[in-house]
Amino acid sequence: MKMTRRDACRALAGLSVLGLSGLRVQGDERPDSFRVYTDGPRLLLRPARLRLLKRERERHSLRWDQFETLWTGGAPFPELPMVQALRWQIAADRDAGVRAVAWAVGPGDEVRQIALIADWCDELLSRDDRNQIETKLRRAMNDARPIRTLDEARAKLFAAVVLSATHQAESEKAVQSFFDGYWMPNLITLLRSAKTSVGNADAYALLEMMHVFRDNLNFDLRDTFPAWFTQQPMLHLLAHYPAPWPAGENEYRIPADEAIEKAGPDVRKAVLSRAAEFAMVALDSNVASSQLLQGWLMNDRFLMRGALGIPYEFLWANPYQPGLSYYHAPLALHDAIGGRLFVRSSWEDDASWIGFFGGQLQKFVDGNVIRVDPMTEKEPIDLDQAVVFFGRENRKFVTPSAKPDEAVNVFIVGLNAGRSYHVEVDGEEMVEEHADPGGIVNLPEVPGTVGVRMNLRA
């Protein structure tokens, strides 16, 4: 097969960003068994992480001291039962653990927190406590209604894993139902067909499930769709507006949000987005994307000091993990699987940024989010590292003249999703390009000051 220069650039760019070769695209693996054999605690606090967190307490690390300060000051933790159970595990605070159990036995109705308490506070459970908690968890585990959200899937999986020691057959059936009834036919199928996406805030629920599944069944859920999961860390990083949000307790990086114009910055989503990044690093700390994320995370300006964020900051952060400067991360990434695009002009806080996701195009300039209609916009957006053209009507372009001796990464948005186009760059042969599910075509390494013409293939 003949490979054009553009094909080679695209392939090399993918390998350099992902740090992988021979990447499987489809993924057809499944666990050998759905039975859980691990000892407790099974949810998130596996032995290595538990040892690290106990050492952090002994060393009076910055994150533990902030956690302790809020606790002793009576801060209103939004997820207080989980926090109480965590204190029991890390500091042997029996009173906190007993109160967590009392909530799980009594008014508690959030399955995820009940499962965490049952797992982390197992030593504190009386027979009656255990029976009442297991009744709640079995009801959630055996619920025959279809799983609709990531949160519901996580609750079902957590309940099944916690009950594996006392209700093994039911647990095994529920874990298989999670995999064969939700993960593969619902989530993965919809991701492959670009009919769903996972936003930065929603990614945390996804990461918790991935950790729990791998920790207890020795199976990496990323193997079910390697191409999507491999690109996700860098896409996640780029899917933030450049300017930090100055909250009272710390600064936040605000994730790209379809509702930002109406609702404004959502600190809760920012907390969950940062927690997801920590969990990504913990899932695979050796790949280049994790090391870039670690460099992004270890800036103390963004250390979550509030009552919602500090439990996750303490639970997941590993300040001893080496990281790379995120200034080495790419400034433009195209998700050809899901039809998304994120580009920024630099890694400085005052950078310009554009994001195409959820069917809308946003532009961030001078601290403001502006929605752009790719179907009617005519003027290109030049962000130094990449230029974005709008191609629904206008299909003749000239790359920027400011850098005549440099190649330009060109993105054309607003095309017909899934359609083929004949593309001709001055001085090169005509090639055929396919618009992704979002109607985007990427032309990497186009020489500066040349013309680009494209026509819809008949």
Would you state the pLDDT for residue 398? Answer: 86
Q: What is the distance between the alpha carbons of residues 147 and 215, in angstroms, rounded to a whole number?
A: 22
pLDDT of 192 > 90? The answer is: yes
Name the token pair of 429.
């042969």
Residue 278 and residue 297 in contact, taking contact as beta carbons nearer than 8 Å: yes
Q: For residue 41, is it within any domain?
A: no
**Where is the domain boundary, 196, 225, 258?**
196
Given a cut of 80, whether residue 295 has pLDDT beyond it is yes
Whether 119 and 40 have beta carbons less than 8 Å apart is answered as yes
Domain co-membership, 358 together with 446: yes
Residues 152 and 110 in one domain: yes
pLDDT at 420 over 70: yes
Q: Which residue has the tokens 């806080």?
A: 349
* 60 in any annotated domain: no
In the chain, how many domains are there?
3
Task: Note whether 99 and 144 are same-domain residues.
Answer: yes
Asked if 352 and 321 sit in the same domain, the reply is no
- 179 lies in the same domain as 154: yes
Write out pLDDT tens, residues 302-326: 999 999 999 999 999 999 999 999 9
Confidence of residue 394 (pLDDT cuts 50, 70, 90): low
Same domain, 308 and 413: no
* Span 191-216, average pLDDT: 97
User: 8 falls in which pLDDT band (50, 70, 90)?
Assistant: very low
Q: Decide if pLDDT at 434 tops 90.
A: yes
Query: Mean pLDDT lowest for which of 2-16, 113-127, 375-389?
Result: 2-16
Q: Name the token pair of 380.
A: 């290109």
Structure token digits, residue 180:
């064969």
Percent of residues, the chain, with pLDDT higher than 90: 79
Give the least confident one: 182-196, 207-221, 407-421.
407-421
Rounded to two decimals, what is the model's pTM? 0.93
Q: Are strands 386-390 and 407-413 parallel, antiparallel or unpaired?
A: parallel
Q: Looking at per-residue confidence, does 179 or 6 come out higher?
A: 179
Q: Is residue 100 part of a domain?
A: yes
Number of H helices and number of E strands within the chain?
16, 15
The pLDDT tens digits for 52-83 are 999 999 999 999 999 999 999 999 999 999 99
Q: In the listed set 196, 231, 247, which residue is the last one of a domain according to the structure?
A: 196
The most distant pair of C-alpha atoms in the chain lies apart, rounded to whole Å, by 79
Lowest mean pLDDT among 294-298, 344-348, 400-404, 410-414: 400-404
266 and 357: one domain? no
Mean pLDDT of 336-349: 96
Residues 176 and 263 in one domain: no
Residue bearing the bigger pLDDT, 50 or 23? 50
Examine the domain organization and report whether 323 and 355 are in the same domain: no
177 occurs within a structural domain? yes
Residue 40 inside a domain? The answer is no
Q: What is the DSSP letter of 183?
A: I
pLDDT, tens digit (0-9, with 9 covering 90-100), for 213-271: 999 999 999 999 999 999 999 999 999 999 999 999 999 999 999 988 888 899 999 99
Size of the chain, expressed as the number of residues it contains = 458
pLDDT confidence bin for 18, thresholds 50/70/90: very low
| Other Cβ atoms within 10 Å of 318 Cβ, number | 18
Q: Please give the pLDDT value at position 400.
A: 78
In a domain, 6, yes or no: no
* 321 within domain boundaries: yes
Do 271 and 282 belong to one domain?
yes
Please indicate, yes or no, whether residues 383 and 292 belong to a single structural domain of this protein: no
65 in a structural domain: no
Residue 17 confidence (pLDDT) above 50:
no
pLDDT tens for residues 145-190? 999 999 999 999 999 999 999 999 999 999 999 999 999 999 999 9
Strand ranges (E), 381-419 = 381-382, 386-390, 396-398, 407-413
- Picking from 304, 328, 352, the residue at the C-terminal end of a domain is 328
Q: Which domain holds residue 121?
A: 77-196
349 and 289 inside one domain:
no
Q: What is the mean pLDDT of residues 411-427?
A: 92
Residue-wise pLDDT tens digits, 100-143: 999 999 999 999 999 999 999 999 999 999 999 999 999 999 99
Task: Give the residue ranges of DSSP H helices in 178-321.
Answer: 189-192, 203-217, 226-238, 260-263, 267-283, 288-297, 310-316
Is residue 399 within 8 A of residue 450, CB to CB? The reply is yes
